[in-house]
Chains A and B, each alone.
Chain A
Amino acid sequence: MRRNKELEIYIHIPFCVKKCDYCDFLSGSQDEATRKIYVEKLIEEIRTHNKRNRSIHNEKVITVFLGGGTPSILEKNQITAIFDALRENFDVAEDAEITIEANPGTVTAEKLQAYKKCGINRISFGLQSTNNEELNLLGRIHTYEEFLESYQLARACGFNNINVDLISAIPKQTVASWEETLKKVIVLEPEHISAYSLIVEEGTPFAKLYGEGCPGEHDLPSEEEERAIYYRTEELLEKAGYHRYEISNYAKKGKECRHNLGYWERKEYLGIGLGAASLINNTRYKNTDDLLYYMEHASDLSAIQENVEKLSLEEQMEEFMFLGLRKMEGVSVDEFENTFGKTMEECYGEQIQSLVQQELLKQKNGRLLLTKQGIDVSNYVFGEFLMACQY
């Protein structure tokens, strides 16, 4: 008998009321009719997975993450239909963590109650800032007050696992204005807080405003200020009972996001919907990000799957390191050996020694983890594990 494997599922909803000026995720505003067809196609894709892929069918789904875009833009019956299809075709564990991303201003009591019925037990609110001027600058459609309303509503509907997304280092932000945001969120006592530093991504309106050589370039906090904000974040949140478990993620004990941890721990996950990425059987692939094409071919998996890459042993090791090290607890030396049949030492001895010497990594209780300085320059640290292994 085959043992049940664990599987995570990500479902992408590429729609927003309006795309934010810094966002480079796959999303955009689309009319109701398009959204309706998309949901139908999404359900077709879910069904196809069942028919086509036996190995997935045998697996137990431990987390579901409905992300976007803004999934909460969908009607409650659309969400219900998606979950009905999901449960018909996959074996979702009873204690699965099921998250939906929601934007303040797009949720109603009816929607929240419907979520509850679907088994959704975690809500992730994209707040970003409690300062309305900052929200406006980011191109967000909601105010802090609207967020408060949505948040309270979710609490009233019985959601006891809520995340609040925040963005730091936005133009003209000061340590003081950031502290205010943090403090206002802390008093609400969400179970989880994600605090990302803004990255000005190419191709976004922000890149034209704040990119290199652009007029607003100097409105962005300097590297030093950005780091000060980051250090302050940990200090304040730690004091309030949140521990940092990943570079940008903080949670109360036991409330870490299992779905995201799965990414860092290389758990298998299936991405459903436009542009969704998957890792199945050490093969990575992505669905097409062409909306019209997706809607035409959603039930033909081989047509929509792109960039299929079978990971070599070496690539798997690299991922183990550069993904695992994002977690504050780092990577386990034993687990590496159990997984790959080679010791971490023989694969990366030289790199580790040098990084430990530079005080970017440290060893503790059989684990290897980033130091405080290591976090600041983590890309450099991760880079050292690429194309380095001789095996």
Chain B
Amino acid sequence: MAGIDQKKIRNFCIIAHIDHGKSTLADRIIEKTGLLTSREMQAQVLDNMELERERGITIKAQAVRIVYKANDGEEYIFNLIDTPGHVDFNYEVSRSLAACDGAILVVDAAQGVEAQTLANVYLALDHDLDVMPVINKIDLPSAEPQRVIDEIEDVIGIEAQDAPLISAKVGLNIEDVLEQIVEKIPAPTGDVNAPLQALIFDSVYDSYKGVIVFCRIKEGSVRKGTNMKMMATGATAEVVEVGYFGAGQFIPCDELSAGMVGYITASLKNVKDTRVGDTITDADRPCEKPLPGYKKVLPMVYCGMYPADGAKYQDLRDALEKLQLNDASLHFEPETSIALGFGFRCGFLGLLHLEIIQERLEREYNLDLVTTAPGVVYKVHKTNGEVIELTNPSNLPEPTEIDYMEEPMVKAEIMVTSEFIGAIMDLCQERRGIYQGMEYIEETRAVLRYHLPLNEIIYDFFDALKSRSRGYASFDYEMLGYEKSELVKLDILINKEEVDALSFIVFSGSAYERGRKMCEKLKDEIPRHLFEIPIQAAVGSKIIARETVKAVRKDVLAKCYGGDISRKRKLLEKQKEGKKRMRQIGNVEIPQKAFMSVLKLDEKK
């Protein structure tokens, strides 16, 4: 295998706006090159996480190696790396891009260029990738390929006249794509004989093989027995196996050399030793300096995550560590809550990221979780001059010690068709947005620019955007910095006891509204007890909203069904079972659902 000609390798990824057909195209490419017969094909081969298939999104980057016999009679090796489309996973995208030499840009023939199309193209150009456009979904009645081609040239500024016009769904013109990959995507460069220099772009944990490192070999080569060294962590280990990616499986080979994409397993004990973005070299013949790696990303959204069963704390820690292994943007540290016990304060790139991590923990690691309301990082300027970065509302100092507070702002770009401009402007207004301007990309589509507080968009902004534009608006944002703001801590008291896990920081003008909604929601979620339970929202010592859960006056089974005691027992057991999933706060049992319900406060809109 050492004899693979670098010129015959093409490392590329597919980038696209969400739903433009990226994963479907990947499936077709795999099918056309005969890696799998269509009978073996399962829709979206690369999205092998259950969650990905269900949601129809790509979360993790995935790689696969395929062999293509081109029209010139030569066989080419394609390394295809699938990437996520959502803004929360830009970090993942940029990792995959670093392993590629070119990118296929998929654009929907009906929808044209969208916010994420642009964002991903810029990312690709940042990584010096050659971008090759493909127009997808030309089978749709509303397809306007020529308009979209022009748009790509106008808006993005890349040559698109000879872009393949395809339908990944029905498998139309996929050959054109394959031929253009050979023609337009550059072959990798790199000296096979130079000291080893490989970029870790992902890794997974396998219970049999241990840590599996996904890497792109930039220089040199690696084989079984190589004494490899992680340049950032300094960990060394002997390589146990190298190989490349089959469809859904790992295929061992003798050697990976410059230009190739593949995996390495080694006798690595600690998952923390292999950090994504780190450079692998040969300990016996090290390269001079590491590859640039990745820009470190900072979590923007924080929440508390607690195991529903306190005994599962260690399991949660293990699971978070394993997820962090290939998701460096996931951040966590231990914290304790009076209401929820031991858990972790976790940092995420956004709310979708949070949801995905939560679901992965629940499905892949079988953990039952209780999550607290997400919040952003606030800067608290104390009267003594000290500035603290607040990630947990419970740590807010006394009001007398606070001089002022700042909250993070984002610069948001919302692309929307003209008929929804009004609705979207209303939404931004409600979310304390500051209008920055608007420009028309073409006759019917405009980009709206707003400055928005991050804490206004982490909840359900995306959903609201979609529902108010019937799905047409798309949205991208970047951090702008901190601005002074009137913020207060909203506390929830249940039966006069403050529940720390329900406290959060909110803009003072929205406190009343939020507090009222929280109380209403909790009233529906907290079951009736033998006594009356007041639910109150408070800012400081001032109660701003109240609801009451009425006491149970009666819970009697008058009749006992003759001698059918089993039936009675089942009724009692059912009642008891419900209680098991509750948290005891003072003498009130609160279902775990209640903690989560406050995350979806604006659902009814």
Q: Are B563 and A377 in contact (CB under 8 A)?
A: no
Q: Are A247 and B562 in contact (CB under 8 A)?
A: no
A277 contacts partner chain B, Cβ-Cβ < 8 Å:
yes
Q: Are A248 and B558 in contact (CB under 8 A)?
A: yes
Residues of B within 8 A of A226 (CB): 553-554
B49 contacts partner chain A, Cβ-Cβ < 8 Å:
no
A279 contacts partner chain B, Cβ-Cβ < 8 Å:
yes
Residues of B within 8 A of A284 (CB): 565-566
State which of A12, A227, A322, A383 has its C-beta within 8 Å of the C-beta of B553: A227
The digit string for B279-323, where 1 denotes a CB below 8 A from any CB of A, is: 000000000000000000000000000000000000000000000
Residues of B within 8 A of A360 (CB): 530
Q: Are B569 and A378 in contact (CB under 8 A)?
A: no
- What interface size band does chain B fall in? 20 to 34
Q: Which of B337-384 contact A (CB under 8 A)?
A: none
Smallest Cβ distance from B573 to chain A, in angstroms? 6
Given A279-B565, A386-B573, is A224 in contact with B556 using a C-beta cutoff of 8 Å?
no
B434 contacts partner chain A, Cβ-Cβ < 8 Å:
no
A375 contacts partner chain B, Cβ-Cβ < 8 Å:
yes
State which of A247, A263, A279, A319 has its C-beta within 8 Å of the C-beta of B558: A247
Q: Are B555 and A277 in contact (CB under 8 A)?
A: no
Q: Are A376 and B553 in contact (CB under 8 A)?
A: yes
Given A247-B556, A376-B555, A376-B556, is A383 in contact with B576 using a C-beta cutoff of 8 Å?
yes
Given A227-B554, A247-B556, A263-B565, is A377 in contact with B573 using a C-beta cutoff of 8 Å?
no
Given A378-B555, A380-B552, is A10 in contact with B572 using a C-beta cutoff of 8 Å?
no
B564 contacts partner chain A, Cβ-Cβ < 8 Å:
yes
State which of A271, A286, A326, A380 has its C-beta within 8 Å of the C-beta of B555: A380
Q: Are A263 and B560 in contact (CB under 8 A)?
A: yes
- What interface size band does chain A fall in? 35 or more
A197 contacts partner chain B, Cβ-Cβ < 8 Å:
yes
Q: Are A377 and B572 in contact (CB under 8 A)?
A: no
The digit string for A263-275, where 1 denotes a CB below 8 A from any CB of B, is: 1000001010000
The digit string for A364-388, where 1 denotes a CB below 8 A from any CB of B, is: 0000000001011111101100110
* Top 3 closest pairs, chain A to chain B, by CB: A223-B553, A196-B558, A379-B555
Given A223-B553, A386-B569, is A248 in contact with B559 using a C-beta cutoff of 8 Å?
yes
Q: Which of A211-263 contact B (CB under 8 A)?
A: 223-224, 226-227, 247-248, 263
Q: Are A383 and B559 in contact (CB under 8 A)?
A: no
Q: How far is the CA of A276 from the CA of B571 in the complex (A)?
A: 19
Given A10-B562, A277-B565, A379-B571, is A386 in contact with B556 using a C-beta cutoff of 8 Å?
no
Of chain A, the residue at the smallest CB distance from B530 is A377
Q: Are B562 and A67 in contact (CB under 8 A)?
A: yes
A307 contacts partner chain B, Cβ-Cβ < 8 Å:
yes
B557 contacts partner chain A, Cβ-Cβ < 8 Å:
yes
Smallest Cβ distance from A210 to chain B, in angstroms? 16
State which of B555, B565, B573 has its C-beta within 8 Å of the C-beta of A387: B573
Smallest Cβ distance from A361 to chain B, in angstroms? 13
State which of B559, B564, B568, B572 has its C-beta within 8 Å of the C-beta of A199: B559
A358 contacts partner chain B, Cβ-Cβ < 8 Å:
yes
Q: How far is the CA of A354 from the CA of B470 in the complex (A)?
A: 55
Q: Are A271 and B563 in contact (CB under 8 A)?
A: yes
Residues of A within 8 A of B579 (CB): 383
Smallest Cβ distance from B165 to chain A, in angstroms? 54
Residues of B within 8 A of A277 (CB): 562-566
Residues of A within 8 A of B572 (CB): 322, 379, 382-383, 386
A179 contacts partner chain B, Cβ-Cβ < 8 Å:
no
Of chain A, the residue at the smallest CB distance from B559 is A196
Smallest Cβ distance from A72 to chain B, in angstroms? 17
Of chain A, the residue at the smallest CB distance from B571 is A379
State which of A286, A380, A387 has its C-beta within 8 Å of the C-beta of B566: A286
B575 contacts partner chain A, Cβ-Cβ < 8 Å:
yes
Q: Are A380 and B530 in contact (CB under 8 A)?
A: yes
A291 contacts partner chain B, Cβ-Cβ < 8 Å:
no
Q: How far is the CA of A372 from the CA of B553 in the complex (A)?
A: 12
A146 contacts partner chain B, Cβ-Cβ < 8 Å:
no
Residues of B within 8 A of A382 (CB): 572
Q: How far is the CA of A199 from the CA of B567 in the complex (A)?
A: 15
Given A199-B559, A386-B572, A386-B573, is A377 in contact with B566 using a C-beta cutoff of 8 Å?
no
Residues of B within 8 A of A323 (CB): 565
Our count of residue pairs bridging A and B at CB distance below 8 angstroms stands at 94
A32 contacts partner chain B, Cβ-Cβ < 8 Å:
no
State which of A223, A326, A358, A387 has its C-beta within 8 Å of the C-beta of B560: A326
Q: How far is the CA of A279 from the CA of B562 in the complex (A)?
A: 12
Q: How far is the CA of A331 from the CA of B559 in the complex (A)?
A: 19
Residues of A within 8 A of B559 (CB): 196, 199, 248
Residues of B within 8 A of A278 (CB): 563
Q: Are A319 and B564 in contact (CB under 8 A)?
A: no
Of chain B, the residue at the smallest CB distance from A270 is B563
Q: Are B563 and A10 in contact (CB under 8 A)?
A: yes
Smallest Cβ distance from B576 to chain A, in angstroms? 5
A309 contacts partner chain B, Cβ-Cβ < 8 Å:
yes
Residues of B within 8 A of A10 (CB): 562-563
Q: How far is the CA of A377 from the CA of B557 in the complex (A)?
A: 9
The digit string for A281-299, where 1 denotes a CB below 8 A from any CB of B, is: 0001010000000000000
Q: Are B571 and A279 in contact (CB under 8 A)?
A: no
Of chain A, the residue at the smallest CB distance from B564 is A277
Residues of A within 8 A of B552 (CB): 223, 377, 380
Q: Are B575 and A377 in contact (CB under 8 A)?
A: no
Residues of A within 8 A of B573 (CB): 386-387
Q: Are B565 and A197 in contact (CB under 8 A)?
A: no
Instruction: Give 17 new A-B contacts, CB below 8 A, not counting A379-B571, A383-B575.
Output: A196-B559, A223-B552, A223-B554, A248-B558, A263-B563, A269-B563, A277-B565, A278-B563, A323-B565, A375-B556, A377-B530, A377-B552, A378-B555, A378-B557, A380-B530, A386-B572, A387-B573
Q: How far is the CA of A319 from the CA of B555 in the complex (A)?
A: 18
Residues of A within 8 A of B571 (CB): 379
Q: How far is the CA of A279 from the CA of B552 in the complex (A)?
A: 33
State which of B530, B562, B566, B575 has its C-beta within 8 Å of the C-beta of A358: B530
Residues of A within 8 A of B530 (CB): 358, 360, 373, 377, 380
Q: How far is the CA of A376 from the CA of B558 in the complex (A)?
A: 10
Given A199-B559, A279-B563, A387-B576, is A377 in contact with B554 using a C-beta cutoff of 8 Å?
yes
Q: Are A286 and B564 in contact (CB under 8 A)?
A: yes
Q: How far is the CA of A279 from the CA of B564 in the complex (A)?
A: 9
Q: How far is the CA of A227 from the CA of B555 in the complex (A)?
A: 10
Of chain B, the residue at the smallest CB distance from A169 is B558
Residues of B within 8 A of A286 (CB): 564, 566
Q: Are A319 and B565 in contact (CB under 8 A)?
A: yes
The digit string for A10-27, where 1 denotes a CB below 8 A from any CB of B, is: 101000000000000100
Residues of A within 8 A of B562 (CB): 10, 12, 25, 67, 263, 271, 276-277
Q: How far is the CA of A286 from the CA of B565 in the complex (A)?
A: 10
Residues of B within 8 A of A248 (CB): 558-559
Q: How far is the CA of A383 from the CA of B556 in the complex (A)?
A: 11
Residues of A within 8 A of B564 (CB): 277, 286
Residues of A within 8 A of B561 (CB): 25
Q: Which of B554-605 contact A (CB under 8 A)?
A: 554-566, 568-569, 571-573, 575-576, 579
Q: How far is the CA of A318 from the CA of B570 in the complex (A)?
A: 12
Q: Are B555 and A377 in contact (CB under 8 A)?
A: yes
Residues of B within 8 A of A309 (CB): 566
Residues of B within 8 A of A224 (CB): 553
Of chain B, the residue at the smallest CB distance from A197 is B558
Smallest Cβ distance from A90 to chain B, in angstroms? 17
Of chain B, the residue at the smallest CB distance from A266 is B565
Smallest Cβ distance from B529 to chain A, in angstroms? 9
Q: How far is the CA of A247 from the CA of B562 in the complex (A)?
A: 14
Q: How far is the CA of A111 from the CA of B573 in the complex (A)?
A: 43
Residues of B within 8 A of A387 (CB): 573, 576
Q: How far is the CA of A367 from the CA of B92 in the complex (A)?
A: 67
Residues of B within 8 A of A386 (CB): 569, 572-573, 576
7 pairs from A and B in contact (CB 8 Å cutoff): A197-B556, A263-B563, A276-B563, A284-B565, A377-B552, A379-B556, A380-B530
